[in-house]
């Protein structure tokens, strides 16, 4: 009698499992082929997802943040020049270079001056985009960050360039060097006047 009860329990358990399996299979709807003209936005989104899953995207087509960085050969890096290491690490990466125009230019003047700088860089085969972000401030965006230091060297040599910022480092431009000379002369004159006034009183 006990074995008969065990047999019934096992059969009941198997029957229950079979019903569960059949119930889950009936919930999965067979895919019905739709005419492409009847697709709505959701169907198109699903189709795009399927294509992206099946598509092997090449490294160059990936967004920059998903690309692997190129390996750096430290045997070619001169330890006395940390700038070379930065150049190698920024190769193929987008980098922004900030520059300030000297004097008190209007935004239109800044646009004209930096447009000339961009044209010169373009003629020297530098792929540079320019964005004016203030009355005297501009951003130069480079697709290949390893070229940023050459662009910086060009910019700091320009008459109206106050300073250039690359990777958080500020490099004074030609105009800043002239202004430093004026400020030093002005400070010397003010010091002499103060000393002269103190001796007279």
Domains of the chain, each with CATH number or no CATH: 82-187 (3.30.70.260)
| Residue pLDDT, tens place only, 156-175 | 999 999 999 998 889 999 88
Question: In this predicted model, which residue has the larger pLDDT, 146 or 191?
Answer: 146
pLDDT at 189: 44
Cβ(155)–Cβ(124) below 8 Å: no
pLDDT at 70: 65
Q: Give the single-character DSSP code of 69.
A: P
Is pTM, for the whole model, over 0.75? no
Residues 6+ apart with CB under 8 A from 178: 102
| Residue pLDDT, tens place only, 81-113 | 767 667 676 777 888 999 999 988 999 999 999
Separation between Cα atoms, residue 166 and residue 68, nearest integer Å: 23
Separation between Cα atoms, residue 69 and residue 182, nearest integer Å: 46
């Amino acid at each position: 009698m006990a074995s008969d009860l065990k047999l019934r329990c096992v059969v009941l358990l198997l029957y229950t499992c079979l019903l569960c399996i059949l119930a889950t299979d009936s919930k999965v709807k067979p895919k019905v082929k739709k005419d492409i003209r009847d697709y709505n936005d959701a169907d198109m989104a699903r189709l795009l997802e399927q294509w992206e899953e099946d598509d092997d995207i090449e490294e160059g087509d990936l967004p920059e943040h998903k690309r692997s960085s190129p390996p750096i050969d430290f045997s070619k890096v001169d330890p006395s020049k940390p700038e070379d290491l930065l150049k190698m690490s920024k190769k193929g990466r987008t980098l922004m270079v900030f520059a300030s125009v000297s004097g008190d230019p209007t935004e239109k003047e800044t646009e004209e001056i930096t447009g000339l700088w961009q044209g010169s860089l373009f003629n020297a085969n530098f792929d540079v985009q320019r964005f004016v972000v203030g009355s005297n401030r501009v951003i130069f965006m480079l697709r290949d960050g390893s070229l940023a230091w050459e662009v910086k060297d060009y910019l700091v040599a320009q008459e109206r360039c106050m300073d250039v910022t690359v990777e958080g480092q500020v490099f004074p431009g030609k105009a800043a060097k002239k202004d430093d000379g004026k400020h030093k002369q002005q400070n010397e004159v003010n010091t002499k006047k103060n000393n002269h006034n103190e001796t007279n009183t």
